[in-house]
Structure 1
Amino acid sequence: MFGDMMGMMGKLKETQAKVEETKKRLDSVSISEQSNDSLLKVVVSANREIKTIEIDDELLKDKDQLEDYLIVTLNRAIKKATEVNEAEISAVAKNGLPDIPGLTS
């Protein structure tokens, strides 16, 4: 019994380390998004950090339009990044968890 508990604790620590490694790796995964007319392009990491923003000169003429484009495009990029992040982290966590009776996802 005690050996099983120690084994589970070791497995949990190993899984935690793999999750941390995955989070670091996701810093280098880029998610690109652009407005429908390609006047605004953004790149975010899978950890939802903005990496680049490219704005066409045409958008600089209308502040309100630019703000709208930024909100829509960044939100789409962040949504995609969140989906990638959650899928990667949950896959690592699920594969590394010990089989505990009664514990299901």
Structure 2
Amino acid sequence: MFDMMKMMGKMKEVQAKMREVQENLVHVTATGEAGAGMVKATANGHKQIIELTIDQDMIKPEDREMIQDLTIAAVNSALAAVDVKVKEEMKKQTEGVLPNIPGLDLSGMM
């Protein structure tokens, strides 16, 4: 019975830590770019785009379709990059709290 109580206490600790990590993900950011940096998108750990910049030299009516394509590429790049950082942050924040279980993906719990 002692082991069960210890495990329940550990689970509450893990839940509290996960909530804390999730709240702090708003501060984890990553920027993706396309077109050699002419379009940049920044996302936070909640996978929200928080900034989008387009080089002023790009804004020409005939370039509209290219701008749209580059914007999509930049956003997708930012989301992929922040996903990697979220996984790293989750691993760092839960180190020592959870056992190292191969295949356990904590980012899916967010």
TM-score, L = length of structure 1: 0.80
Structure 1 unaligned residues grouped into runs of 5+: none
Give the Cα–Cα distance (whole angstroms) in 2 for the partners of residues 89 and 30 of structure 1: 14
Give the Cα–Cα distance (whole angstroms) in 2 for the partners of residues 104 and 68 of structure 1: 40
Over 3 Å counting, the alpha-carbon distance change for 1:104 and 1:29 in structure 2 is: closer
Question: Alpha-carbon deviation of 1:59?
Answer: 2.6
Give the Cα–Cα distance (whole angstroms) in 2 for the partners of residues 67 and 59 of structure 1: 11
Give the Cα–Cα distance (whole angstroms) in 2 for the partners of residues 73 and 93 of structure 1: 30
Give the Cα–Cα distance (whole angstroms) in 1 for the partners of residues 11 and 95 of structure 2: 11
Greater displacement, 30-39 / 18-27: 30-39
> Does residue 87 of structure 2 align to residue 77 of structure 1?
no
Question: Alpha-carbon deviation of 1:40?
Answer: 1.0
Partner of 1:17: 16
User: How big is each residue's C-alpha offset from its partner over 1:42-72, in whole Å with a ceiling of 9 and x where there is no partner?
Assistant: 2111221111111122333222101110111
Question: Alpha-carbon deviation of 1:15?
Answer: 0.9
Contact 1:47 1:82 in 2 (8 A): no
Partner of 1:43: 42
TM-score, L = length of structure 2: 0.77
Structure 2 unaligned residues grouped into runs of 5+: 103-110
3-state SS, counterpart of residue 59 of structure 2: helix
Question: Alpha-carbon deviation of 1:29?
Answer: 1.8
Structure 2 residue identity aligned to 1:27: V
3-state SS, counterpart of residue 96 of structure 1: coil
Equivalent pairs, count: 100
Percent identical pairs in the alignment equals 27
